[in-house]
Amino acid sequence: MTKKSEGGPAHPPLKPATRLATSGRDAGANHGFVNPPVHHASTVLYPTAEDFLARRARYLYGRRGTPTSEALENALRALEGPACAGVALLPSGLAAISTALLAVLNAGDHLLVTDSAYQPTRRFCDNVLRRYGIATTYYDPLIGGDIAALMQPNTRAVFMEAPGSLSFEIQDVPAIAAAAHAAGALVLMDNTWATSLYFPAFDKGVDLSIQAGTKYIGGHSDVMLGTVSANQAAWERLRDTVHTLGLCVGPDDIYLGLRGLRTMGVRLAQHHQAGLKVARWLAERPEIARVLHPALESCPGHAIWRRDFSGASGLFSIVFKPVAQGAVNAFVNELSLFGIGPSWGGFESLAIPFDCTSIRTATKWAPGGPTVRLHIGLEDVDDLIGDLERGFAAFAAAR
């Protein structure tokens, strides 16, 4: 029985907004306070020698979990839904990706990774996994069920990222997952863009769903955090790998993740609305050839986004009509409400020029003009559009 003071989700299935507010809370254990304490902890004291020898304790050691880490893990798990068997916290999104891959692969295995994957993910596969005898083949993100033809007898994992965080192709996750499972491979997905709120990864066939908690979970550009949620098929291996590698997250960063998570729903709704408004405005501009936003028809895989996703976040790209890079740089430099910098998912808007040409190996990156990625933050959307308008004036002066 869940006591009223414990505040846990007593009647599943509760809607996501309710789960965001209630999950992972245990007021009974916190003297009635709404939020858990931040446990700075290493040693746990056991009552007797017998208890110590039998490791008979609720918590074993700081690295193995505290009430603070459990609160965030439980909250994320409730958000993922009943197919989620457990959540691991990692010190960054990239650590979450590398740990999830290490958990499911052995020497001699073969791995399939989308050509649109986050570049440091590729670096981990091409350097570290390769040194340990694991071969990676990159595939066209739009391959769908045809990925079956790329399966080798030793293919043990298929890695997806939908959409790609620069190029925004939406992958057919259910079709790719079905082909992977038919060949005996596990399915991993970087779900940072949509989060578990807008893409229910486990319902679509994913076994390990990864998020850079640095982005929308944290939401304020002040924390590095990664999460891996696993279903029953993958959880034991994931948990064992995290413990064996000795990975854990500092309590203040976990607390910031939990604090950010409580407001992620309302923030994402605003990122969605404002992002879409700016994307539609940009699509009408004469300087712009194409807007790569999954909710617009000009984005590869848009029909699949409509079928499988329940929302869009604030990150998308624009393709300029052919023009010198100097004019594009002048556009970005003129913006005062958009900062120039890596990462995204915070409350602030960002703009960066990028080029995927040297990153791709399975597909050719040929958007037809220079590209800029935008993150639409929580500023007033009309102010953002005004800023972009001034950017286009500087662009016109520089071209």
Ligand X SMILES: *Cc1c(COP(=O)(O)O)cnc(C)c1O
Look up 61 and say whether it is catalytic: no
| Alpha carbon separation from 135 to 11, 103, 109, 128 (Å, rounded) | 45, 15, 7, 10
Q: Residue 379 and residue 377: Cα distance in Å, rounded?
A: 6
Task: Pick from 72, 85, 94, 238 the residue near ligand X by CB under 6 A.
Answer: 94
Piece of 11-19, 92-100, 174-182, 360-368 that binds ligand X (CB under 6 A):
92-100
Helix (H) or strand (E) holding 344: none
The one catalytic residue in 204, 215, 262, 290 is 215
Known catalytic membership, residue 63: yes
Whole-angstrom distance, CA of residue 320 vs CA of residue 171: 24
46 is catalytic: no
Q: Does 93 bind ligand X (CB under 6 A)?
A: yes
Residue 373: strand pairing partners: 317, 352
The C-alpha atoms of residue 298 and residue 282 are separated, in whole angstroms, by 12
Which one of 88-96, 107-115, 324-332, 375-383 is the stretch in contact with ligand X (CB under 6 A)?
88-96
DSSP string, 30-62: GTT-SS------S----SSHHHHHTT-SS---G
Task: Output the residue with the shortest Cβ distance to ligand X.
Answer: 93
Q: Return the residue of 23, 66, 214, 227 that touches ligand X, per CB under 6 A.
A: 214
| Cβ at position 345, least distance to ligand X in Å | 8
The residue among 73 and 161 lying less far from ligand X, judged by its C-beta, is 161
Q: Which is nearer to ligand X, 70 or 190 (CB)?
A: 190
49 CB contacts (<8 Å, ≥6 apart)?
Answer: none
Work out which of 118, 168, 216, 331 binds ligand X, going by CB under 6 A. 118
Annotated catalytic, 204?
Answer: no
Residue 192 engages ligand X in binding (rule: CB under 6 A):
yes
Q: Interface residues for ligand X in 311-340 (CB under 6 A)?
A: none
User: Which parts of 146-165 interact with ligand X (CB under 6 A)?
Assistant: 161, 165
CA distances from 317 to 20, 227, 280, 350 (A): 29, 25, 12, 11
With contact defined as beta carbons under 8 Å apart, do 71 and 24 qualify? yes
**Residues forming the active site:** 63, 118, 190, 215
**Residues of the shown chain interacting with ligand X in the complex, contacts defined by CB under 6 A:** 92-94, 118, 161, 165, 190, 192, 212, 214-215, 224, 226, 343
